[in-house]
Chain A
Amino acid sequence: MADPTELTRLLHATAAGDRRAFSQLYQLTSPHLFGLLLRMLQRRDWAEEALQDCFFKIWQKAETYASEKGAPLTWLLSVARYRALDLLRMRRPEVEMPDGDDDFSLPPLTLQDDAQDPMARAVEGQGIARMHACLKNLPAEQRDALLLAYYEGYTHQELSVRFGAPLGTVKSWVRRGLARLRDCLDQ
């Protein structure tokens, strides 16, 4: 993982029009953004196109990043996430949920299994451990709904279809899940 100080420096240099710094920033961070875009969009061509959009925007908007906006990587990832959400909202109505016709597939995200849990590897800092623990304490359907919404861009309607549950029910799973998560994190 790239050092946040270094990323901040590269972002500032990018804002000043330094192409070399921008290229370095891309080298260091594009795998993170691409992983996220692939997870959300589930198609390599869409993810690549979205990645181009994101870095084009980052080049243009780097000067709007300020350190009070949080960690630089979080800011960069948020550019990618909101781009992906926009694309999903535009594109999903006309396509079925992606199936096996593409050149890759991702394993489902899960929190259940401590041994193979990708999160187990990521749990290092106190805050991360806390978020992890709080998520695990949620009822399964609330947690799954939240993870699918956040990491795969599911809407309420799509969650409702996925879980075979009424729309109002999944809405309240998301809402209650977030509220409980917040209470737990604030403790």
Chain B
Amino acid sequence: MKYQSSKLRQMLAAEYVTGTLTGAARRRFRRLLAADPLLRDEVRYWESRFDELGLIEPLPPREQVWAEIDHRIRAAEGKVVPLSERRGQAGLTFLRLWAGVATAASLVMAVLLLRQLGTEPPVPAPEIVKVKEIVEVKKIVEVKVPVQAYVAALRLPDEEVQWTVSVLPDTRTVRVLVNGPAKLTAAQDYELWWIGDEGATSLGLLPRQGSLNVALPQQVRVQPSAKVAVSLEPAGGSRAAAGPSGPVLLATPLMPSV
């Protein structure tokens, strides 16, 4: 298409903004837009004209929307929010899930499930049900006996799935769980590292799907200051004698699960 003619460019920008430029034409225009500041000016021209009209009545969203946004941001940063904190600010998803995991055998599993399912889009539930579930949650929390463990949720840059790492010091086991198939190619692997006072110790490769139990290496001491990290490696893991050979994608502290 002839994008050079200025009238045509104006029209395409206008139709892009009104949304009537669709399908392949819209995608093509977006690519052009990324490389063309003058075209971006055209787009902004129309955006501000329409926005200035003020035809849209502002309307505050419901409270729980913010809680969900906050939760997604924390999840994206690979931070696991301690349960004690989450309880007060829970969104609907969280509350619903709490009710769902009432029969789970341990709190660690509960945390894992929460983290895994918590990324799904929320479905609004009727108010009355919500109140009932809050009551139930309190009961569950009081009855459960906490299992001392540490957890971390890992979100990697090019992946939609999330890995959950739980460290069980009593059995010296690390359990890694992923909530869907990973995207990375067969030529590569993600390697999980324990970062403690003693330095970086490999915990093996992140599973591409399902879950994996790993024994904690002898030299690793489980302590609150420890972190886990993930590096991108050639298939099979790091080529270096010690530590990662590829880029480190993420390092995150472990959080006590209770």
Contact = CB atoms under 8 A, between A and B. Distances in A.
Given A48-B65, A52-B68, A174 B18 contact: yes
A6 B61 CA distance: 21
B236 to A, nearest CB: 32
A149 B54 contact: no
Main secondary structure of the interface of A (DSSP, over half): helix
Contacts of B47: 70, 74, 77-78, 81
Nearest to B66: A26
Given A30-B61, A122-B53, 4 more contacts: A32-B56, A81-B19, A125-B52, A155-B20
B226 interface: no
Interface of B: 10-11, 14-15, 17-20, 22, 40, 44, 47-62, 65-66, 68-69, 72-73, 76, 121-124
A56 B121 contact: no
B69 A26 contact: yes
Given A49-B121, A85-B19, A182-B14, A119 B69 contact: no
Q: Which of A47, A81, A182 has the most CB of B within 10 A?
A: A182
Contacts of A52: 65, 68-69, 72, 121-122
B122 A119 contact: no
Interface string A104-126: 00000100000000110110010
Contacts, number: 129
A31 B63 CA distance: 12
A73 B58 CA distance: 12
Nearest to B43: A78
Contact of B49 (A38, A49, A131): A131
Contacts of B73: 19, 56, 59
Given A55-B69, A78-B47, A182-B10, A109 B55 contact: yes
B58 A35 contact: yes
A146 interface: yes
Given A30-B61, A48-B61, A51-B61, A178 B52 contact: no
A154 B57 CA distance: 19
Contacts of B54: 118-119, 121-122, 128
Given A175-B11, A178-B18, A74 B58 contact: no
A174 B58 CA distance: 27
Contacts of A174: 15, 18, 20
